[in-house]
Chain A
Amino acid sequence: MRSRRPPHSARTAWNHAIEAKDSKALDRLLASTFIAFDIDGSLSRKGEFLASIKDPSYQPAEAAYEDIRAEIYSDTAVTVGVFRIGETQKGKRSTQRHRFFDTWIRYGRSWQCVASQVIMIPAKQVR
């Protein structure tokens, strides 16, 4: 997929919002119809997703992209990339690499994510 810019900055803003547990910023980035599938296949809608970020037990320590590619189709964009997140949950520290897949819709001048899926990348996988 070819690299283009606009959804990248929205995804970067998402990244910062997660690090800061800034659910207000996330609220602006996610469409009201937003739906997310987590690494275990569980489904959450916008309200549940925001609540999970706000949850005191969720403590993201590090969030960064290793790779992000976007394909834009007029007012729709698909972004695929790798997201590395270090977190402490219930006192346990871990770093995981996730493949993310987001679909964005342009409303006026801004992009909102309507769907996101995260897939755990096995430790040995290079690609």
Chain B
Amino acid sequence: MKRLLTAAVLFAIAGVSAFAQGAANDEGGRILGLEKAWNHAVEAKDTRALDQLLAPTFAAVEIDGSVSSKSEFLASIKAPEYQPSQAVSEDMNVQVYGNSAVVVGIFRIKGTEKGKTYVHRERFIDTWIKRDGGWQCVASSATLITAK
């Protein structure tokens, strides 16, 4: 009887665990979708879409180590001299921790800035927080990849 009860408890725990894992996978999928939406918004210089994706407290650490607030980040996207032609994320991995999630990956961006063409590959870490049923990015940092 005890063994049966133990088996039933283990089965129930496994079920709950599988459910939790599935829920985390769903949330991870949602967040990866938001990452793609972010890239499309950058390509289109769509600051309204970005405004929805980024929390009011958003902070970005740029590849030169400077820090910008949400408004500064949006202003840099809007700037006429910033002309991205392609923004793609590769090798993204999302880890969900309850109501927060961390996405790591490689961001590849092509474009022109101040008349100069550039192609950057950057390692990024984005931290997302779930509030009122929706996810918003609260922090993002990027390092230029120089390692071979």
Please report A residues at the B interface, Cβ cutoff 8 Å: 1, 33, 35, 37-43, 71, 73-76, 78, 80, 97-99, 101, 103, 105, 114-115, 117-122, 125, 127
Contacts and interface: CB of A to CB of B under 8 A. Distances in A.
Contacts, number: 105
Given A80-B59, A117-B123, A117-B141, A75 B100 contact: yes
B127 A43 contact: no
A122 B74 CA distance: 24
Given A37-B123, A43-B123, A76-B99, A127 B138 contact: no
Nearest to A1: B59
B128 to A, nearest CB: 9
Nearest to A73: B129
B133 to A, nearest CB: 15
Contacts of B129: 73, 76
B143 interface: yes
A78 B129 CA distance: 11
Interface size class of B (residues with CB under 8 A): 20 to 34
A28 B62 CA distance: 29
A101 B123 CA distance: 13
B109 to A, nearest CB: 14
Interface of B: 57, 59, 61-67, 95, 97-100, 102, 104, 121-123, 125, 127, 129, 138-139, 141-147
A41 B146 contact: yes
Given A99-B66, A99-B67, A117-B142, 14 more contacts: A1-B57, A35-B102, A40-B146, A40-B147, A41-B144, A41-B147, A71-B59, A74-B100, A76-B97, A80-B139, A101-B125, A103-B139, A115-B125, A125-B65
A41 B139 contact: no
A103 B64 contact: no
B61 A74 contact: no
A99 B146 CA distance: 17
A101 B95 contact: no
A101 B147 contact: no
Contacts of B139: 71, 78, 80, 101, 103
B56 to A, nearest CB: 11
Given A37-B123, A41-B122, A125-B64, A115 B138 contact: no
B88 to A, nearest CB: 16
